[in-house]
Structure 1
């Protein structure tokens, strides 16, 4: 078991929480940045959690979400919502000149609860999973 950088984990969870409030914008560049960073930060936090338990190496962004669902960090409803937005990473990193901003915005707004719930979901997991209590055992998480 690895011990995670709890300060960094908290910063990223707070970042996700703040970014989730910014999706409802008409500024295309701000929307792109917000959506991409929601995906990246969520996967970063997921990887930190997975690393803490030496579970398995995720092969993709979707694997990170699947592992968090299997380990009960997030529920199946939130896992589905995260997966519904992961497709936009390819658009944002490879097809960035042809993004359908309205469709992306609607997809994120339809699924934003998963991002808003993520910090609370992790807190619940940390407090109730026996292994999590060991890996995240100080007051700073």
Structure 2
């Protein structure tokens, strides 16, 4: 009935444990160096891309309403019961960072540890678990 690219979703979700580990390590040892700042930018960017790529694939595969923005992708999958609000709220905040990370990178405060960096390891693993549970439930 549904044509969901499960392999694409699983491949992207498979990136999350390493990303969560890197974000955790940054939080523990942050000194504000240029290398840490650049690594944090990339980790936040990858986290936002994975969340929106997976969300978009779910929306397409399960024929949910079309998203009008990156933020809307998270709204839709949360509204469809893929995510709990506990995971959706910080993901909305993450996706809002995307524009700064991709287009306004010259203004990004590289020496500062972003508040989401500490929270994202838990959120990303919750996102992965909830997406996989949704796939299991819907594709039986």
- Regarding TM over 0.5, the answer is yes
Deviations 1:50-93 (A, max 9, x none): 11111111011111101111111110111101112222211111
| Gap runs ≥5 in structure 1 | none
User: Which residue of 100, 113, 119 corresponds with 2:128?
Assistant: 119
1:12 aligns with 2:12: yes
TM-score by length of 1: 0.82
Q: Give the C-alpha shift of residue 113 in structure 1.
A: 2.0
| Gap runs ≥5 in structure 2 | 31-35
SS in 1 for 2:61: helix
Match of 1:59 in 2: 68
- 8 Å CA contact 1:17–1:119 kept in 2: the answer is no
User: Which residue of 93, 109, 116 corresponds with 1:107?
Assistant: 116
User: Which residue of 72, 83, 90 corresponds with 2:81?
Assistant: 72
Match of 2:33 in 1: none
What is the alpha-carbon root mean square deviation over aligned residues?
1.8
Deviations 1:92-117 (A, max 9, x none): 1121112123252x223134422121
In the comparison of the two structures, how many residue pairs are matched? 130
SS in 2 for 1:21: helix
SS in 2 for 1:55: coil
Q: Comparing 39-48 with 119-128, which one deviates more in the overlay?
A: 119-128
- 8 Å CA contact 1:2–1:51 kept in 2: the answer is no
- 8 Å CA contact 2:101–2:108 kept in 1: the answer is yes
TM-score by length of 2: 0.82
